[in-house]
């Protein structure tokens, strides 16, 4: 925890012209005050919350980052909680797109928590806002976070849950609490499906199964569920494969579209000889049709 030296914080109350109107709609208990550092939320565009587990997987990070980036590109402001993991990836995605983002903190807006997020905190402040209902200087306590999550939900038209465990001890993970709050305030809740073998998928899958949540496989799902975000609801077609590919190139690209993977796995899925696959994958990489991660995972390039 670090105390940031003072850009001046404002205190907003309902009725203030800069008070975010959505925050007064169905949020219980009502938010009475909001400390604000940065731009007034109402000036940052329609909001969508993207939240999820701290201890997430690389899949979750990538999806959160990608959704945030794509939504921010279209002028949507991304709301999250500045936690490491999914929250941080969501803020980063919005920043990468040059978009706007709001971090809702558990403690005072001048108390950087987690302290490792200092750099991200500064960049969120520069591109958007930090808000909290706790007075300046308040150190975050565990019990503040569940109530903080109702502000994340309340500011947003929709909440997208990326990864979250379903805990067996009766308590709820932060992501699931946010989903509940969003439901309670009548916001749209969407959940990103994951690998059915991963405990991190249990929360989102539960939401889809029982919570009446939408499935989120891309930003077109967000728009389809949430007409308030106003976008012509045409679904983008999957980008067609280019002409003039060899049968092996086509098979390997299609294998990547099923699931990104290492050369060996893709070769097996595509029914291509291992050695040939290594050569073809390099060719696709050189042609800019595939991208290879540091751990050797190939995916179709955007």
Partner 1 sequence: MDEYGEFRRQVLDALRQPLEDGCITVVRSRWAVTFPARFQLIAASNPCPCGHLGDAVKPCVCMPGAVAGYRERMSGPIADRIDLAVEVARLAKRQLFGQPEGDPSAVVAERVAAARARQRERWRALGLACNAEVPARDIDVACRLTHPARVAVESAIETMGLTARGAHRAVRVARTIADLQAADEVDEGQMDEALAFRVAEART
Nearest approach in angstroms of CB 50 to partner 1 is 16
Nearest approach in angstroms of CB 216 to partner 1 is 19
DSSP secondary-structure letter at 16?
A: S
3-state class (DSSP) for residue 299: strand
In the complex with partner 1, which residue's Cβ is closer, 72 or 284? 284
Give CA–CA dist 66/55, Å, rounded: 18
Nearest approach in angstroms of CB 121 to partner 1 is 15
Alpha helices in the chain (DSSP H): 58-73, 86-96, 118-127, 144-155, 174-184, 202-210, 219-225, 247-258, 263-270, 274-286
Nearest approach in angstroms of CB 225 to partner 1 is 27
Nearest approach in angstroms of CB 218 to partner 1 is 21
Return the HEC string of 88-132: HHHHHHHHHCCCCEEEECCCCCCEECCHHHHHHHHHHHHHCEEEE
The answer to whether 100 and 128 have CB atoms below 8 angstroms apart is yes
In the complex with partner 1, which residue's Cβ is closer, 17 or 288? 288
In the complex with partner 1, which residue's Cβ is closer, 57 or 73? 57
- Closest CA relative to residue 138, chosen from 111, 102, 104: 111
Nearest approach in angstroms of CB 284 to partner 1 is 10
Nearest approach in angstroms of CB 200 to partner 1 is 7
Within its chain, how far is the Cα of 193 from the centroid? Answer: 13
In the complex with partner 1, which residue's Cβ is closer, 10 or 283? 283
The answer to whether 128 and 101 have CB atoms below 8 angstroms apart is yes
Give CA–CA dist 23/85, Å, rounded: 25
Give phi and psi for 183, each to the nearest 5.
Answer: -60, -50
In the complex with partner 1, which residue's Cβ is closer, 6 or 286? 286
Write out the residues near partner 1 by the rule CB under 8 A: 55-59, 61, 84-85, 88, 116, 195, 197-198, 200, 259, 261-265, 275, 278-283, 285-286, 288, 292-297
In the complex with partner 1, which residue's Cβ is closer, 161 or 182? 161
In the complex with partner 1, which residue's Cβ is closer, 16 or 62? 62
**Cβ neighbours of 106 (radius 10 Å):** 26
């Amino acid at each position: 925890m670090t105390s940031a030296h003072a850009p001046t914080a404002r205190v907003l109350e309902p009725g203030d012209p800069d008070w975010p109107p959505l925050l007064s709609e169905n949020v219980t208990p009502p938010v009475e005050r909001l400390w604000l550092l940065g731009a007034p939320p109402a000036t940052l565009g329609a909001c969508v919350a993207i939240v999820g587990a701290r201890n997430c997987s690389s899949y979750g990070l990538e999806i959160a980052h990608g959704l945030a980036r794509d939504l921010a590109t279209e002028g949507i402001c991304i709301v999250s909680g500045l936690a490491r993991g999914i929250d941080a990836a969501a803020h980063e995605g919005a920043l990468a797109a040059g978009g706007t983002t709001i971090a809702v903190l558990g403690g005072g807006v001048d108390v950087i928590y987690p302290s490792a997020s200092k750099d991200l905190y500064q960049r969120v402040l520069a591109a958007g806002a930090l808000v909290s209902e706790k007075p300046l200087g308040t150190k975050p306590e565990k019990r503040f976070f569940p109530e903080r999550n109702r502000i994340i939900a309340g500011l947003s038209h929709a909440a997208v849950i990326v990864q979250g465990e379903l805990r067996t001890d009766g308590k709820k993970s932060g992501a699931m609490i946010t989903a509940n709050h969003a439901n309670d305030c009548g916001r749209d809740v969407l959940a990103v499906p994951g690998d059915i073998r991963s405990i991190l998928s249990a929360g989102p899958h539960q939401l889809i199964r029982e919570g009446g949540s939408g499935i989120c496989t891309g930003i077109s799902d967000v728009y389809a569920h949430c007409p308030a975000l106003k976008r012509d609801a045409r679904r983008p077609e999957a980008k067609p494969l280019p002409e003039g590919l060899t049968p092996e190139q086509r098979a390997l690209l299609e294998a990547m579209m099923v699931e990104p993977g290492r050369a060996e796995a893709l070769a097996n899925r595509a029914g291509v000889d291992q050695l040939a696959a290594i050569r073809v994958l390099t060719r696709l990489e050189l042609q800019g049709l595939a991208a290879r991660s540091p751990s050797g995972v190939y995916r179709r390039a955007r």
